[in-house]
Amino acid sequence: MGKRYLTQPQLRERYGGVSDMTIWRWIRAGRIPEPALFANRKYFAEDELDEADRRAKTEYRRAQAEPSKHVPPQLKRAPGDS
């Protein structure tokens, strides 16, 4: 079986109807791999998308397991407060 590719409309559907702008932002941020160009059309390799999804899921779970690095100002204690 050969490598499977998705068109941009299929990619939008895969991710719940996201916009073309969201796809562009995800590519720019490295969230999903850049598409291959065949005859001036963009095609996304399904196996590369699956790997990007696994990587994002792992990063999300790691971030959820770590304590928050941000403390809201109302919860910060001033030096000398008890």
Cβ–Cβ under 8 Å, residues 48 and 41: no
Q: What is the pTM of this model?
A: 0.74
Cβ–Cβ under 8 Å, residues 45 and 29: no
Residue 11: closest CA among 46, 38, 51:
46
Calculate the average pLDDT of the chain.
89
- pLDDT band for 80, please (50, 70, 90 cuts): low
Amino acid 79: pLDDT: 66
Percent of residues, the chain, with pLDDT higher than 70: 89
* Per-residue pLDDT tens over the stretch 37-64: 999 999 999 999 999 999 999 999 998 8
For the residues 19-46, what does the mean pLDDT come to?
Answer: 95
